[in-house]
C-alpha cells in the first residue's frame, strides 16, 4: 500500500500537471521539495497544534520526503525559530489573549499566537528526518516581524532559500507542510511571484481553520499553483 501511494504521488506531482497541459516535463534536476514547518509546536500535543496534524500525518510526511529523496529530488525545508520575545506571542502584549489581532505602533496588524517554536525549546526542531534535507531554513528569528513565508519575513528581509534554489538550478517546487492558511500559502505565493512552478500535495497540508484553509487553497490555485487530487484514495 505504501509503495502504491508513493508511486502515485510521484506520477501525479511530476508528470500529470505537465502532460495534461502539453508542457515539456523538466528533469528531476530542476525539481525540489519544500517541507514547510513540520515541527512539534504545530502537531498534535504542540503549543499551536493544527487540526489533523497527528502522528499519522507526520508519518506520511516522513514517507513522502524519504521517497522524494530516494528518487533523487532535492529536499529543502523550513522551520519556525522564534526568540522568546517575538512580536507574535500574546504573552509579550499585556492584557492580550491568543488569536487577538492588534495594531502595532507602526500601523501593522498582528495576529497574536501562543508562544511556539521558541529557539531555546525542543519544539522548534523539524520532525522529518533532518538527514533528508539539503537545507533547513530557519525563519521568524527577527523579534519584530512575523515570517510565514520560507522566502522572506513580513518586514521584507529575505531568507537564503531563493538563493539556494537558484544556485541549484531549481525551477519547479513540490510543497507540503503546515499550515495551509499561513506558512504554506505565504511560501507558495512568494514562490510563484519569484517565477517558480509550484505543485502542492493536498493530502500533506494541514490548516488552522477550515474556512481560512479553503480560502488559502482557492487563492493559491488562482495564483497558478497546481494541487494534487486525494492520492490517499489510490492506496
Catalytic residues: 37, 139, 183
Cα atoms found within 13 Å of the Cα of residue 49, Cβ hemisphere only: 11
DSSP conformation class of 181: I
CA end-to-end span of the chain: 5
User: Strand pairing partners for 103?
Assistant: 109
Cα atoms found within 13 Å of the Cα of residue 66, Cβ hemisphere only: 12
Per DSSP, the three-state class of 13 is: helix
- Give the three cell numbers for residue 210: 477550515
- Give the three cell numbers for residue 24: 515539456
Amino acid at each position: 500500500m505504501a509503495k502504491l501511494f508513493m508511486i502515485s504521488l510521484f506520477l501525479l506531482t511530476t508528470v500529470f500537471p505537465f502532460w495534461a497541459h502539453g508542457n515539456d516535463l523538466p528533469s528531476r534536476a530542476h525539481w525540489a521539495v519544500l517541507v514547510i514547518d513540520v515541527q512539534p509546536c504545530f502537531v498534535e500535543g504542540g503549543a499551536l497544534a493544527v487540526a489533523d496534524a497527528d502522528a499519522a500525518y507526520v508519518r506520511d510526511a516522513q514517507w513522502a520526503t524519504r521517497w522524494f529523496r530516494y528518487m533523487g529530488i532535492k529536499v529543502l525545508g523550513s522551520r519556525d525559530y522564534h526568540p522568546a520575545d517575538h512580536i507574535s506571542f500574546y504573552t509579550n502584549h499585556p492584557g492580550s489573549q491568543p488569536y487577538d489581532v492588534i495594531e502595532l505602533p507602526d500601523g501593522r496588524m498582528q495576529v497574536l499566537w501562543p508562544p511556539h517554536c521558541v529557539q531555546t525549546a525542543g519544539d522548534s526542531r523539524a520532525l522529518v528526518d533532518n538527514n533528508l534535507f539539503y537545507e533547513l531554513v530557519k525563519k521568524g528569528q527577527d523579534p519584530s516581524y512575523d515570517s510565514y513565508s520560507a522566502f522572506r519575513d513580513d518586514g521584507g528581509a529575505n531568507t537564503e532559500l531563493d538563493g539556494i534554489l537558484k544556485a541549484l538550478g531549481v525551477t519547479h517546487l513540490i510543497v507540503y507542510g503546515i499550515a495551509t492558511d499561513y506558512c504554506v500559502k505565504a511560501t507558495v505565493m512568494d514562490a510563484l511571484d519569484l517565477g517558480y512552478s509550484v505543485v502542492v500535495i493536498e493530502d500533506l497540508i494541514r490548516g488552522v481553520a477550515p474556512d481560512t484553509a479553503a480560502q488559502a487553497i482557492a487563492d493559491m490555485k488562482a495564483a497558478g499553483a497546481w494541487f494534487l487530487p486525494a492520492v490517499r484514495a489510490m492506496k
